[in-house]
Chain A
Amino acid sequence: MKNCEYQQIDARALGTPASSFQPCTEMKVPRLRRKWEVFPGKNRFYCDGRIILARQSGILPLTLGLIVVTSVLFFAFDCPFLVTHLTVCIPVIGGVLFLFVVISLLQTSLTDPGILPRALPDEAADIEKQIYTSGSSMYRPPPRTKEILINQQVVKLKYCFTCKMFRPPRTSHCSLCDNCVERFDHHCPWVGNCVGKRNYRFFYSFIVSLSFHTSFIFGCVVTHLTLRTYEVILLHQKESPARYPFHIICFFSIWSVLGLSGFHTYLVASNLTTNEDIKGSWSSKRGAEDSGNPYTYNSIFINCCATLCGPMPPSLIDRRGFLPPDDIPPVAAADLELSSFLAKNDTNMVGMPSSGHTS
């Protein structure tokens, strides 16, 4: 046991984990900042870091607007007619589906998709030291790739120059959000966020429930029009064509949403991401197995369960954690120096694929 002199420890100087941290209210200490305030990626934060959005919200307002307006018109014009002529279940089912769609959409947009925090300077230096062994005094950028074996398949890990680390498998750097995202699927402008490991299940439930919702509305509208046509012919009543444009939007959007749902169902069943499918990462490997995908469980059921019902991974960026007050965060400091360097060398930047795949 060491013979130590006990000294009053200032807890803030230790940089203890955020969860056990309480903000101090001494007079000369400035307000403690949370980690989201110095987050280096292009994201926006609301509610003191609880909600995260991409820098550009894309056409999320349009998506929400279209869904809400179409649904409201459905409830206002088609439901009264159908309730009297058919059953009261129609607005109930419609309401449940509408809620599901909106909740899934908001969860997809406002959740951290699986952003990987950037490497701290010490860590980045250690990685460079490990791979740069020749001992020359000239600085050479680290090699772009590292090969590893996953389930007897060779997988290349790329080095991300922005995040200063070798990207884990299935991770890609989104240029729109300026973050590495785990299990990167695509950046969806309709949803205004990347779709990655943490929010893929929300995205999938959004497009599936939206398919059901639009099909349901379309079915009800066709039923309404059919019944109404009979009434018009038999009872000489007036028609109101004002809401037809929305029905046409509904009709066309059904096919694109259904198609997208079908495509993502295929991806889920084969444990692929849109990114891998588009790049054809595993399709060139033809052999005894149907695909060279090393991540598949070779069973549709297990693939679906693993992707959609697997354990919910935590957010790695710790948005609401507190920063130690003494020093500016090392990542931000490094980025301030490096951002000008990187800006100058933008054309030489490798390891940043154009990940703006949209749905």
Chain B
Amino acid sequence: MAETHILQDLQHQAAIASKVYVQRDYNSGTICKFQTKFPSELESRVDKQQFEETMQTLNNLYAEAEKIGGKSYLEGCLACMTAYTIFLCMETHYEKVLKKIARFIKEQNEKIYAPLGLLLTDPIERGLRVVEITIFEDRSIGFGR
């Protein structure tokens, strides 16, 4: 609970200095994968290794959601046999992983990025197009640039 106050205070007191967008990486096809290249605007804010690790974990989670294997085939065949009505009552594997991703991003924000004046937005809120990183200029402790 104390950690969520950090996020809320940040958004309440700080002004948004700028936003950085990490685009999708389509080199492996249409699967959901984000570029892991470190944006230059974040150089003064966060450790490059840390950021790349976050993005890599995020990409791995999306790969898990979209994995085509035995489990997804089973889910697909079962759904086909029930004329896809099973989707009305059952949560799909993808949705379960999306919840996991939401928890991961919240945890990363609370532990790593909020203390540095940054906020990662869950890509699902941007239609899985970009990872939006908001850079805050916190006037209360002279944090800004």
- CA separation between A310 and B67, bound complex, in Å? 8
Q: For residue B14, give the distance in angstroms from its CB to the closest CB of chain A.
A: 11
Chain A contact residues (Cβ within 8 angstroms of B): what range? 35 or more
Whether the Cβ atoms of B102 and A205 lie closer than 8 Å is no
- CA separation between A244 and B93, bound complex, in Å? 48
User: Which residue from chain A places its CB closest to the CB of B93 in the assembled complex?
Assistant: A311
Interface residues of A in 96-122 (CB under 8 A from B): 99-100, 103-104, 107, 116-117, 119-120, 122
Whether the Cβ atoms of A311 and B126 lie closer than 8 Å is no
Whether the Cβ atoms of A9 and B76 lie closer than 8 Å is no
Q: Is A49 an interface residue (CB 8 A)?
A: no
Q: For residue B120, give the distance in angstroms from its CB to the closest CB of chain A.
A: 13
What does the 1/0 interface line of B69-108 toward A look like (CB < 8 Å)?
Answer: 0001101110110011101000011110010001000000
Q: Is A332 an interface residue (CB 8 A)?
A: no
CB contact under 8 A between A314 and B94, given known A116-B127, A119-B129? yes
Interface residues of chain B, those whose CB is within 8 Å of chain A, are 5-6, 8-9, 11-13, 19-21, 24, 26-30, 65-68, 72-73, 75-77, 79-80, 83-85, 87, 92-95, 98, 102, 115, 122, 124-130, 132, 140-141
Of A21-29, A148-156, A246-254, the segment with at least 4 beta carbons within 8 Å of chain B is A148-156
Whether the Cβ atoms of A311 and B65 lie closer than 8 Å is yes
CB contact under 8 A between A9 and B12, given known A306-B68, A311-B65, A316-B128? yes
Whether the Cβ atoms of B92 and A311 lie closer than 8 Å is yes
CB contact under 8 A between A122 and B65, given known A17-B122, A100-B83? no
Q: Is A217 an interface residue (CB 8 A)?
A: no
- CA separation between A305 and B126, bound complex, in Å? 29
List residues of chain A with CB within 8 A of the CB of B126.
Answer: 117, 120, 123
List residues of chain A with CB within 8 A of the CB of B5.
Answer: 4, 6
Whether the Cβ atoms of A311 and B84 lie closer than 8 Å is no
Q: Is A14 an interface residue (CB 8 A)?
A: yes
Interface residues of A in 181-195 (CB under 8 A from B): 182-183
Q: For residue B91, give the distance in angstroms from its CB to the closest CB of chain A.
A: 10
From A3, A103, A126, residue with most partner B Cβ within 10 Å? A126
What does the 1/0 interface line of A8-32 toward B look like (CB < 8 Å)?
Answer: 0100011001000000000000000
- Knowing that A4-B5, A126-B19, A311-B66 touch, tell me 20 more A-B residue pairs with CB under 8 angstroms: A2-B9, A4-B9, A6-B9, A7-B9, A9-B8, A14-B8, A117-B126, A122-B132, A123-B21, A123-B130, A127-B21, A150-B27, A182-B30, A201-B84, A205-B84, A295-B30, A302-B68, A308-B76, A309-B75, A318-B124
Whether the Cβ atoms of A305 and B68 lie closer than 8 Å is yes
Interface residues of A in 177-214 (CB under 8 A from B): 182-183, 201-202, 205
- CA separation between A316 and B13, bound complex, in Å? 31
Whether the Cβ atoms of B13 and A311 lie closer than 8 Å is no
5 A-B interface contacts by CB (under 8 A) = A4-B140, A122-B19, A126-B19, A309-B73, A310-B66
